[in-house]
Amino acid sequence: MPAERFFVQVGATRDGLDPYMDAARRRGMTAILVETPDYLRWREVLGRRPYDVTIPVEHPASPADLIESLRTLPHPPQLVLAGFERYVSAAYAAAQAFQAPPAGQSPAFRVPHKRAQRTAVSQVTAVRQPRYALVDSLADIEVAAAGMTYPIVVKPDDGGGGLGVVMVPERAGVRHVREVLAGVRNYDGGAFGGWVVEEYLPGTEFSVQAVARDGVPDILTYCEKLTAIEPEHEGLLHSFRESGHVAHPGTEASEEIVDFVRHCITAVGYRQGPFHVDLIRDGASLSLLEMGFRLSGMRVVDLVHRVRGVNWAEEAFDAHLGTPSTVTQRPAGPRYAGHLTLRRADQLAAAESIEACNGVDGIQVEIQRYPSPLLPREWGHEIPGTLRADVVRHGGAVGRLVVSAGDASTVVSLLRSCRAAKGLGAAKGHDATKGHDATKGHDATKGHDAAKGHDATKGHGVAKRVRRAAGDRI
């Protein structure tokens, strides 16, 4: 009788989709999820589908702790992948320890965080980047920013989904960065490993969703980002809110984009597996914001499937397990699809008002409503500290609007009309989709609690926000 085949996912997705679990089960593999005990409980609260096996580990970002936990399995894993940015490095270390894919598939690849990405790509003249400085401590931010042109952006080296990212519009605001970010912790409560200070680039931000095979990128889709910049602390600092995406077929990507992406992954030695690249077009030039070596969050996986008819997780498994790609021609139907995270009742009402467009000129409108979860009685009014970043960054959505159409401008227009509903936070700041897009999906310092380092997990106000957080997003 053949031995059981194990797929290990390190870290749960935050968007409610579990595409790796499905891909593993379709291959007859046992799907195993490694996560913190608190986040495993949070998944139950949110009604997520259960994996075949779950392994609670207090610090999954620690390679030693992760590897030790996997040694309890009766057989070594056949594939180890990260489901969340925080755990990519640990997942690769575990794969190497057990000689399971993706170990050995990208020999020169060492999972670079933002600082290492900047350093590696700086050796490639074909890839433009913003001017930047790398620092180990928040205490060094002012010195690092000396001589830079404002606005500047400060972001943690190993954060994910925009956690801890702020924009400083003018030099007078830089001295406030340290006090604002000092209390912000990484996902699972860990500390950040350093910081990047870089000049802000205005322009149109987008992300590329792809799979690498033998060093050649296969671009499945690329997404225009809908992002707003929101002033905080009397305008001395700004935070970013990434609220949606509009996906285009990868077949429409220009040769310039394809070459740029290829140069990026070559610079870091990435040859096999899923990845995404965040870019910004500043005038006639493309600049790199950052790369991620996993599937995108925020339900972008769903947009890839809608636009290309491709299951990105299946493509990732095929690339790592050496099986043929399943990419075929795109399905019949709308060529473009986009979505918007709805965070308030007025946005949901605006989304409901455009349902009348459904079926008109091939437009498809879908509203996904998120029920309010009930907190476990043992938590009371206080969320565990290890979940603080998740609650502040990913909670609070009341639904999701998905629009598909035969042209991208229709999708963008309908999404923007709902985002601009009365009371929208972006109205207080700049519309990032009109020439001021952020440097990365920077929802990170949502609200003053996160930015000031306050304990966002205490008190009745936050408990109410958490009860609305079934739309847990990344």
194-245 pLDDT, tens digit per residue, is 999 999 999 999 999 999 999 999 999 999 999 878 888 888 899 887 899 9
Whether the pLDDT of residue 441 is over 50: the answer is: no
Structural domain spans, the chain: 6-97, 114-471
Average confidence (pLDDT) over 386-395:
81
- % of the chain surpassing 90 pLDDT: 70
Whether the pLDDT of residue 434 is over 50: the answer is: no
Judge if 6-97 and 114-471 fold alike in CATH terms: no
Average confidence (pLDDT) over 141-145:
95
Least confident of 315-329, 345-359, 428-442: 428-442
Whether the pLDDT of residue 423 is over 90: the answer is: no
CATH of domain 6-97: 3.40.50
Determine the Cα–Cα distance for residues 155 and 296; give it in Å rounded to an integer.
Answer: 19
* Residue type for position 106: S
- pLDDT at residue 376, as a whole number: 84
Length of the chain: 474
Give domain 114-471's CATH number out of 1.10.10.10, 3.30.470.20, 3.40.50.2300, 1.20.59.20: 3.30.470.20
In sequence order, the 6+-apart residues with CB closer than 8 A to the CB of 448 are 232, 233, 454
Determine the Cα–Cα distance for residues 338 and 327; give it in Å rounded to an integer.
Answer: 21
- pLDDT at residue 239, as a whole number: 85
Determine the Cα–Cα distance for residues 400 and 17; give it in Å rounded to an integer.
Answer: 13
- pLDDT at residue 79, as a whole number: 98
Q: Output the CA torsion sign for 327, 96, 57, 472.
A: negative
- pLDDT at residue 160, as a whole number: 83
Average confidence (pLDDT) over 42-61:
96
Assign 445 a pLDDT band (cuts: 50, 70, 90).
very low
pLDDT digits (tens, 9 = 90+) for 94-141: 999 999 999 999 999 999 999 999 999 999 999 999 999 999 999 999
User: What does the block give as tokens for 184?
Assistant: 């912000």
pTM: 0.86
- % of the chain surpassing 70 pLDDT: 87
Percentages of the chain per state (helix, strand, coil), in multiples of 5: 35, 25, 40
More confident residue, 234 or 316: 316
Whether the pLDDT of residue 456 is over 50: the answer is: no
Whether the pLDDT of residue 431 is over 90: the answer is: no
How does 393-420 read in b/e, with b if 16+ C-beta sit within 10 Å?
A: bbbbbbbbbbbbbeebebbbebbbebbe
Whether the pLDDT of residue 278 is over 50: the answer is: yes
- pLDDT at residue 329, as a whole number: 59
| Residue among 24, 51, 48, 7 nearest 314 (CA) | 24
Contact 294, 81 (CB under 8 A): yes
Quick one: DSSP state of residue 182? Answer: T
Name the region of 209 (left: φ>0; alpha: ψ -120 to 50; beta: rest).
beta
Place of tokens 């001295």: 175
* Residue type for position 11: G
pLDDT digits (tens, 9 = 90+) for 256-268: 999 999 999 999 9
- pLDDT at residue 98, as a whole number: 98
Average confidence (pLDDT) over 158-184:
90
Alpha helices, DSSP H only, in 395-459? 408-419, 447-452
- pLDDT at residue 424, as a whole number: 38
More confident residue, 375 or 323: 323
